[in-house]
A and B are shown apart, each in its own frame.
Chain A
Amino acid sequence: MKARVIVTLKAGVLDPQGKAIEGALRSLGVEGVAGVRQGKVFDVELETADRAEAEAQLKAACEKLLANTVIENFAIEI
């Protein structure tokens, strides 16, 4: 089963990289960008075919390693 995990910075956490990307877009003439926040995407191949099991495994993966829950949120797409 294929799944996707998306890790994003929590609201209120400063994101200097996102700010730099936002500035670069502006200098490239890309208009209308009000803000950029950088995150991470993990495409994960799971052995199970069971949706609930996959969700539980990915949640554990996020909490143990993929996200630092002090500053990051995660979302799971199966």
Chain B
Amino acid sequence: MKAAVVVFPGSNREGDMARALRQATGRAPAMVWHAEHELPAGTDLVVLPGGFSYGDYLRCGAIAGRAPVMEAVRAHAARGGLTLGVCNGFQILCESGLLPGVLMRNAGLRFVCRMQHLRVERTDTAFTRHYAPGQTIEVAIAHGEGNYEADDETIRRLEDEGRVAFRYCDAAGHVGGAANPNGSRNDIAGIYSAERNVLGLMPHPENLIDPLVGGTDGRALFESLAAA
């Protein structure tokens, strides 16, 4: 598994992401500057990390979504290449058109930074094979704009095609209600592309890979990718 992490001005989770990838794959990912026009040859997985690319100017992820490197990311995804966007990376995937919908201001208007339970919706994808079906995991969230919105038709298509990757839930696995931290439609925390080779999610699995810092529920995602 050859991974590449794209770094934009204002990215700040690329170090955590590199650490998680190194732990799971046994090799350090390439760090790719946003102004590059190509990904390293033989890249299997591209990751857009969290942060505040371009200071969240205009809209979160809007300017990064049109950065030079995104043409290469788009071509990689179109070839079926694995692509992961976390937090700001998810916003960038939506802004670039690689995933449908948009991440709007949290319904409660506050930046939410805390631990959050998620339900793993399916375990037959390159990202989630190492989770158990129906598993509830606990990972970190830290965002002000994580409120997933799309038109009714898009939401219906995502649901019908089984493209919801993770939903916000409580510790017992009950989805929705107070467990939804940001007002996302259908409690959506992450979605796949139609071919399920692109995943965007707001929570940070890369921060839960070490028992020293709160848990290891994020590890299976990277182990799934390493085995893909």
Contacts and interface: CB of A to CB of B under 8 A. Distances in A.
A68 B62 contact: yes
A26 B66 CA distance: 39
B105 A68 contact: no
A66 interface: yes
Contacts of B147: 14, 16
- What DSSP secondary structure best describes chain A's contact surface? helix
Contact of B102 (A64, A65, A66, A68): A68
Contacts, number: 36
A33 B214 CA distance: 47
A66 B105 contact: no
B149 A17 contact: no
B66 A14 contact: no
B189 to A, nearest CB: 18
B102 A71 contact: yes
Interface in B140-166: 147, 149-151
A68 B59 contact: yes
Interface in A11-52: 13-14, 16-17, 20
B101 interface: yes
A70 interface: yes
Contacts of B62: 65, 68
- What DSSP secondary structure best describes chain B's contact surface? loop
Nearest to B105: A16
Nearest to A9: B104
B102 A70 contact: yes
Contact of B95 (A13, A16, A68): A68
B58 interface: yes
B75 interface: no
A68 B151 CA distance: 13
A68 B62 CA distance: 8
Contacts of A14: 104, 107, 147, 149, 183
A13 B183 CA distance: 13
Given A17-B109, A66-B58, A71 B104 contact: yes
15 contacts: A14-B104, A14-B183, A16-B104, A16-B108, A16-B147, A17-B105, A17-B109, A20-B109, A68-B95, A68-B102, A70-B100, A70-B150, A71-B102, A71-B104, A71-B149
Interface of A: 13-14, 16-17, 20, 64-66, 68, 70-71
Given A20-B109, A65-B58, A70-B101, 12 more contacts: A14-B147, A14-B149, A14-B183, A16-B106, A16-B109, A16-B147, A17-B105, A68-B62, A68-B95, A70-B102, A70-B151, A71-B149
